[in-house]
């Protein structure tokens, strides 16, 4: 990367204070930045973090007085969002995408590949699959029969998308994730667990990112759906028939049991477990390790197991710490009553 500060300011839509001809070649956090790096300050309240940085230029919130630094670019929006635009340039340089069709890839004659599609070594694309323009399939990816993958998608090594699933445009799936695995459906009879065939599919809408080692099960009959703009962390499990709304954030080790519906912009923090056949309202926030066992109203903030409103939970925890003292008081009262 070789950007003049003038080009940098134009890239992020900011106002430059400093030498427009100075050049940056890298990016780093404030403590680690060198004299050829661009950095950023996320919040004006943390302006003290600027002290001592060696960065060539710092992207800062609009109106921030930043004395003592070499140069600054003020942006009207979020500095970290502006910084992400710079990182995209570095990403393209440091992580070049595969191109073309590798000779060892196995593509069924009936599969359809759009313009600019790249297919890596030992990838497999089954019959009737459709891959949209400019999508990249890294080595050892698997695309099942009649599956549709949209435009500008990025599937990292060892991703599996099984039969008849559908991915929208600009979907990213990180390594080791399996989309369309069989849902966990069994019927017990005479002490034997009989498998219920899972003949539905998974639909993932536009601009979704799936973390590494996710498992998203196909529906028993209809579809499991992940809404547009949702982002999942690593090790997330979404069971069959689940519906996840738009813009949700599912953090590491979240598990959602079958046939549960999440509204839009739900946040499930690390290790949250959601029981089956529930309705979770839009903009619900569940704090880490919450266990949700009943329907949850829109906008609720919950924690604990079973999950309850966060303020109520904190009150209970505060009272719990007083139990030894309370027990001693009750014991003393019982002695007096004797």
Closest CA to 34 of 54, 58, 49, 51: 54
Active site residue: 193, 240, 277, 313, which one?
Answer: 240
Closest CA to 22 of 74, 73, 77: 73
Long-range contacts of 25-29 (CB under 8 A, 24+ apart): 25/1, 26/1, 26/90, 27/1, 27/83, 27/86, 27/87, 27/90, 28/55
Closest CA to 17 of 75, 81, 83, 77: 75
Q: Please spell the DSSP secondary structure of 28-82, one letter per residue.
A: --TTT--TTEEEE-S-GGGGGGGTT---SEEEEETT---TTSS-EEEESS-HHHH
102 is annotated as an active-site residue: no
What burial class does residue 254 get, using C-beta atoms within 10 Å of its C-beta: 0-12 exposed, 13-18 middle, 19+ buried? Answer: buried
Q: How far apart are CA 241 and CA 112, in angstroms?
A: 28
Helix ranges, 58-195 (H):
79-94
Catalytic positions, written as ranges? 240
């Amino acid at each position: 990367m070789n950007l003049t500060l003038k080009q940098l300011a134009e890239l992020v839509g900011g106002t430059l204070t400093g030498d427009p001809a100075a050049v940056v070649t890298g990016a780093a956090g404030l403590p680690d930045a060198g004299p050829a790096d661009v950095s950023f300050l996320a919040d004006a309240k943390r302006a003290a973090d600027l002290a001592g940085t060696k960065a060539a230029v710092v992207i800062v919130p609009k109106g921030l007085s930043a004395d003592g630094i070499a140069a600054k670019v003020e942006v009207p929006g979020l500095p970290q969002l502006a910084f992400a635009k710079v990182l995209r340039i570095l990403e393209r340089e440091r992580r070049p995408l595969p191109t073309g069709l590798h000779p060892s890839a196995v593509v069924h004659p009936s599969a359809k590949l759009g313009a600019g599609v790249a297919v890596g070594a030992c990838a497999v694309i089954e019959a009737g699959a459709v891959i949209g323009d400019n999508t990249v399939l890294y080595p050892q990816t698997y695309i099942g029969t009649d599956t549709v993958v949209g435009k500008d998608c990025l599937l990292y090594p060892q991703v599996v998308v099984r039969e008849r699933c559908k991915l929208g445009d600009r979907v990213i799936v990180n390594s080791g994730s399996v989309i369309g695995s069989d849902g966990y459906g069994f019927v017990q009879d005479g002490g034997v667990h009989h498998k219920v065939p899972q003949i539905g599919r998974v639909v993932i809408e536009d601009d979704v990112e799936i973390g590494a080692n996710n498992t998203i099960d196909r529906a028993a009959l209809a579809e499991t759906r992940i809404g547009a703009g949702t982002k999942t962390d690593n090790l997330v499990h979404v069971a069959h028939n689940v519906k996840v709304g738009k813009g949700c954030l599912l953090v590491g080790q979240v598990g959602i049991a079958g046939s549960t519906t999440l509204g839009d912009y739900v946040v499930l923090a690390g290790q949250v477990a959601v029981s089956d056949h529930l309705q979770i309202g839009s903009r619900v926030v569940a704090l880490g390790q919450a266990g949700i066992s009943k329907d949850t109203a829109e906008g609720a903030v919950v924690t604990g197991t079973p999950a309850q409103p966060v303020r109520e939970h904190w009150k209970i925890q505060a009272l719990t710490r007083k139990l030894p003292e309370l027990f001693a008081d009750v014991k003393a009262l019982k002695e007096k009553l004797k």
